[in-house]
Structure 1
Amino acid sequence: MRRHRHAKIVATVGPASSRPETLKALFLAGVDTFRLNFSHGTQDDHRSVHAAIRALEAEVGRPIAILQDLQGPKIRVGTVQGGRLDVVPGEVLRFVLSGMEGDRRAIPLPHREIFAAVVPGQELLIDDGRVRVRVVGIEAEALEAEVVIGGTIQNRKGVNLPGTMLDLSPLTAKDRADLAFGLDLGVDWVALSFVQKPADLIEARGLVGDRAGIMTKVEKPQALERIEDIVRLSDAVMVARGDLGVEIPHEDVPGRQKELIRACRLAVKPVVVATQMLDSMVAAPTPTRAEASDVATAIYDGADAVMLSAESATGRYPVEAVAMMDRIIRRTEQHKLYRSLIAASEPGEEETPPHAVATATADLAEAVGAAAIVAYTLSGTTAARIARRRPAVPILALTPDLGTSRRLSLLWGTHSLQSAEVDTYEEMVANATAHATREDFARANDLVLITAGIPFAVPGNTNNIRIAQIPQG
């Protein structure tokens, strides 16, 4: 089941893809990590999908990661008479903290944090910015706002407040219940929505511990202001271009994407690019040329993974969307400019011995024409340090920990396996060459580079490189 590409694919599971036979088809088409979106569906729905993915994992004999994406504190308007309200530029609307069913003089906005944070002149973007209003007056439990861009305000549509720091935890009561449920199921990653500051990650870590990796979704401008600290406290990062693209100008999103990918590579954290990557394939069997270029750009930038949302969750062509993304990735990575562009985006060196050993492993593997790099890793750090270099040589990560092997399914260029612990140098070499052969990475007489930390079973202690030749027979 070896993937002949470096970048990974994350696919969201939904009504179009939740059946066991469809999940298998998606995996065979190229999915490495399945995303369960807890903004939709019930816990029973997600439990069934989780069980089906774990059964599929046992059937195919490959670790498969499961990402739980928490809803977060989504801010929404309440309900209005008739379910919709048409507004025009220049009109002044009144938003109120409480109210059952409103009109243009009392539109419910049941979020006290907004009334405490906004000041005159700030803008509220409703329904992904389709309607834009500017605050002109504030009371304790009401505010007046002039319509800047008119349109239709419908029930329960989302509200974004660019540049406004809200006193909100990223974990609502619903999120906490969903998180406990997901951790009990055994999810591998937890995606945290609407992170604004490093303290949000500390709060989440207190709940998650080491039971799953924490993936920060960068979708607020406030997070960009403290991004180095946020990346450092995260286990992975998602460039969530949907809400981020509402709160910052569209023209700033591509540059921010590149900055985030570079920051994550420097910090040795996997980074996922998400939102509308092949959006046309929700309803059509092929994407637009611009969408294909969008996926390719993320690959040229060095992203660890790219993600499908509605394309695989509710679209008409979920398997075709995954297959298309797989083809775009492989063709991009085969392009003659790919290696030079990846090398040009190298973020620099970390001045620590383990990083130096990982860099030397990647460089030496390319210099001697090795068939593969075999990385022994307990926590996944050794493999991540090598992947940070984005070597042309594939990485085979061997770990005794099943959770680590699943989480590594998200890491660039890494084929992960659960393998028994080794106790001696000779056992390390024999085990590495056997797995490299069995997994179709190397054949007789090929060279492989083996890296590990000695003494064995000490996390984060990458300090040894060995060149080995695959034996005959």
Structure 2
Amino acid sequence: MLETRRTKIVATLGPSSNSYETIRALTLSGANVFRMNFSHGTHGDHAKIHGIIRAVEQELGRPITIIADLQGPKLRVGTFEGGVAELIEGQSFAFTSAETQGTSSSVSLPHPEIFNSLQPGDYLLVDAGRIRLRTVSVTIDEIRTEVIAGGTIRDRKGVNLPDRALDIPALTTKDRVDLIFALDLGVDWVALSFVQKVADISSVRAIIGTSAKIVAKIEKPVALDSFPAILHATDAIMVARGDLGVECDWSDVPAVQRDIVAKCRAAGKPVNVATQMLESMISNPVPTRAEVPDVANAIFEGADAVMLSAESAAGKYPREAIEAMASIATSAERAPLYRQELKDGVLLDTAEDSTSIASAACLIANMRRAYCIVTYTESGATALRVAKSRPDVPVLAICPSRETARSLALVWGVTPTVSRNKAEFMLFREGEIPESLSKSGNIPRDKPIVVTSGSPLGVPGCTDSIKIACIDAVAPN
């Protein structure tokens, strides 16, 4: 069936949602993409979840995207005597390279790259920014700081450095092991954490090849400085507002999010907005009134997808959270403001024939009030070009491979389906629906469809024609 909701929903899986029954229910409630978070769980856990998703996909007959989210380099303090220490505003506090038990005046920081990069005046943020310290002096053995915002600091809490791009590898040893395992499983996308520069993406691309696509997670302000190059190098972007909101001023996050989404749309790259979207639904069956417009704003901006994290992975109400997000998306997309916001976005603007055809197909579909746009896409590029213009109608993407169809389940407005018979697709141009695909589109007889194709069919970059077709009959197999 053609999906009428354009914005896709990503659900993180975890202890609350790792059974067949729950994953099936989440799919039927509106989840298009499932995220396996490799910061938690064992390889055995992820293999089990992957198998369940594929079994649900087989039962329901619809492509489902799987994202493997790598942990990335985590910076953490050492341990304290008694497990905790109290820091008071204005006091002096030291981070030392020595592996000693921490006190109220110092703690071990086992990351030499921080000592090599930090400069006086730089900030260190501990425990998601709850504790803020400003660097006074740095040696190879000690970082002396002043406590700007104090509180209780506990063992192994995370450290963020908003002012520095650290010279650390994009992939830790754990990440490399997890990546190879995820690729062997057969995931569709790999999310790369704490991206700072293009080289981070290149190093992962060298391992992945064409086995999966890459999502660059924007979590550090330094990534914003290199964002145009990062966007060009990656396949998709995730606005990971958790760490991003810690490392830059939290009041800047809405503007940063809007800017990133706009740039991704202009480039035709999928963009996913994530973190704390329905946070209260971890423990409550309905969202707060403040969370609803937060999700809606991401949809009004034209994001391809919105994501649930702990709400679906560890919360009490994973199905209700998916239903709430789907309801918000459906309501937002019906609003006149939504279409106006999308029309204000950037259309396709390159000189290539295939991109011109995609843009024209959207304009024709809008003018003729077509039921949908049908396109044959070998690699997914044609569907991405069409989705970039955010047409008023759904996009039915006929894909010769399951891998392409699965990757497109993350893309705005696209309903992917698998058909390896090119002749079936050509029936659309003659106003007929192949019987094997009739249920995929559920296309009525009283509306035209817009069909794009290429010569020769199935060759990437060769899309060169548009036809307006009226469905007259269902063709036999």
Determine if the TM-score, normalized by the shorter chain, exceeds 0.5: yes
Match of 1:463 in 2: 464
State the Cα deviation string for residues 314-347 of structure 1 (Å, max 9, x = none).
Answer: 1111100000000000000011221112111336
Give the whole-Å Cα distance in 2 for the aligned partners of 1:146 and 1:453: 64
Tell me the amino acid that sits aligned with residue 44 of structure 2.
D
Match of 2:63 in 1: 63
Match of 1:135 in 2: 135
Tell me the amino acid that sits aligned with residue 47 of structure 1.
A
- Residues 30 and 323 in structure 1, CA contact (< 8 A), matched pair in contact too: yes
Residue 443 of structure 1 deviates from its aligned partner by: 1.6
- Residues 89 and 148 in structure 1, CA contact (< 8 A), matched pair in contact too: yes
Give the whole-Å Cα distance in 2 for the aligned partners of 1:431 and 1:421: 17
- Residues 33 and 65 in structure 1, CA contact (< 8 A), matched pair in contact too: yes
Match of 1:246 in 2: 246
RMSD value over aligned CA atoms? 1.6
Match of 2:310 in 1: 310
Q: TM-score, normalised by structure 2?
A: 0.96
- Residues 433 and 473 in structure 2, CA contact (< 8 A), matched pair in contact too: no
CA 1:424–1:400: 2 relative to 1, 3 Å:
closer
- Residues 445 and 471 in structure 1, CA contact (< 8 A), matched pair in contact too: no
Match of 1:363 in 2: 363
Residue 222 of structure 1 deviates from its aligned partner by: 1.2
Give the whole-Å Cα distance in 2 for the aligned partners of 1:218 and 1:228: 12
- Residues 266 and 345 in structure 2, CA contact (< 8 A), matched pair in contact too: no
State the Cα deviation string for residues 283-305 of structure 1 (Å, max 9, x = none).
Answer: 11111111100000000000000
Give the whole-Å Cα distance in 2 for the aligned partners of 1:276 and 1:320: 15
SS at match of 2:296: helix
Instruction: Find out whether 1:417 has 2:417 as its counterpart.
Output: yes
Instruction: Find out whether 1:72 has 2:72 as its counterpart.
Output: yes
SS at match of 1:147: strand
Residue 430 of structure 1 deviates from its aligned partner by: 5.6
SS at match of 1:16: coil
Instruction: Find out whether 1:349 has 2:349 as its counterpart.
Output: yes
Tell me the amino acid that sits aligned with residue 53 of structure 1.
I
**Counterparts of 1:299-338 in structure 2 under 5 Å?**
299-338=299-338
Residue 146 of structure 1 deviates from its aligned partner by: 0.9
Match of 1:205 in 2: 205
Tell me the amino acid that sits aligned with residue 461 of structure 2.
G
Give the whole-Å Cα distance in 1 for the aligned partners of 2:55 and 2:98: 47
Give the whole-Å Cα distance in 2 for the aligned partners of 1:106 and 1:23: 46
Give the whole-Å Cα distance in 2 for the aligned partners of 1:155 and 1:232: 39
SS at match of 1:433: strand
SS at match of 2:433: helix
Residue 413 of structure 1 deviates from its aligned partner by: 0.3
CA 1:3–1:425: 2 relative to 1, 3 Å:
closer
- Residues 214 and 234 in structure 1, CA contact (< 8 A), matched pair in contact too: yes
State the Cα deviation string for residues 374-394 of structure 1 (Å, max 9, x = none).
Answer: 011011010000100101111
Tell me the amino acid that sits aligned with residue 145 of structure 1.
T
Residue 2 of structure 1 deviates from its aligned partner by: 4.0
- Residues 86 and 104 in structure 2, CA contact (< 8 A), matched pair in contact too: no
CA 1:415–1:426: 2 relative to 1, 3 Å:
closer
CA 1:325–1:306: 2 relative to 1, 3 Å:
same
Match of 1:402 in 2: 402
Q: How many residues align?
A: 473
Residue 421 of structure 1 deviates from its aligned partner by: 3.7
Residue 423 of structure 1 deviates from its aligned partner by: 5.5
Residue 348 of structure 1 deviates from its aligned partner by: 6.0
- Residues 372 and 436 in structure 1, CA contact (< 8 A), matched pair in contact too: no
CA 1:347–1:92: 2 relative to 1, 3 Å:
farther
- Residues 123 and 161 in structure 1, CA contact (< 8 A), matched pair in contact too: yes
Match of 1:36 in 2: 36
Match of 1:447 in 2: 448
Give the whole-Å Cα distance in 2 for the aligned partners of 1:27 and 1:277: 19
Match of 2:18 in 1: 18
Residue 440 of structure 1 deviates from its aligned partner by: 4.1
SS at match of 1:157: coil
Residue 426 of structure 1 deviates from its aligned partner by: 4.5
State the Cα deviation string for residues 174-218 of structure 1 (Å, max 9, x = none).
Answer: 000000000000000000000101111111100111100000000
Match of 1:339 in 2: 339
Give the whole-Å Cα distance in 2 for the aligned partners of 1:407 and 1:246: 31
- Residues 121 and 134 in structure 2, CA contact (< 8 A), matched pair in contact too: yes
State the Cα deviation string for residues 35-93 of structure 1 (Å, max 9, x = none).
Answer: 00000111111110000001111010111000000000011111111111111011111
Q: Which runs of 5+ in 2 are unaligned?
A: none
Residue 105 of structure 1 deviates from its aligned partner by: 3.9
Instruction: Find out whether 1:84 has 2:70 as its counterpart.
Output: no
Residue 309 of structure 1 deviates from its aligned partner by: 0.3
SS at match of 1:416: strand
CA 1:431–1:194: 2 relative to 1, 3 Å:
farther
- Residues 374 and 436 in structure 1, CA contact (< 8 A), matched pair in contact too: no
**Counterparts of 1:365-380 in structure 2 under 5 Å?**
365-380=365-380
State the Cα deviation string for residues 101-151 of structure 1 (Å, max 9, x = none).
Answer: 222344011111000000111110001110001111211121111110001
SS at match of 2:125: strand
**Counterparts of 1:91-110 in structure 2 under 5 Å?**
91-110=91-110
Tell me the amino acid that sits aligned with residue 117 of structure 2.
A
Give the whole-Å Cα distance in 2 for the aligned partners of 1:430 and 1:417: 19
- Residues 432 and 450 in structure 1, CA contact (< 8 A), matched pair in contact too: no
- Residues 430 and 469 in structure 2, CA contact (< 8 A), matched pair in contact too: no
Give the whole-Å Cα distance in 2 for the aligned partners of 1:302 and 1:381: 19
Tell me the amino acid that sits aligned with residue 455 of structure 2.
I
- Residues 396 and 436 in structure 1, CA contact (< 8 A), matched pair in contact too: no
Tell me the amino acid that sits aligned with residue 466 of structure 1.
K
Tell me the amino acid that sits aligned with residue 448 of structure 1.
I
Residue 353 of structure 1 deviates from its aligned partner by: 2.0
- Residues 399 and 418 in structure 1, CA contact (< 8 A), matched pair in contact too: yes
Q: Which runs of 5+ in 1 are unaligned?
A: none
- Residues 433 and 471 in structure 2, CA contact (< 8 A), matched pair in contact too: yes
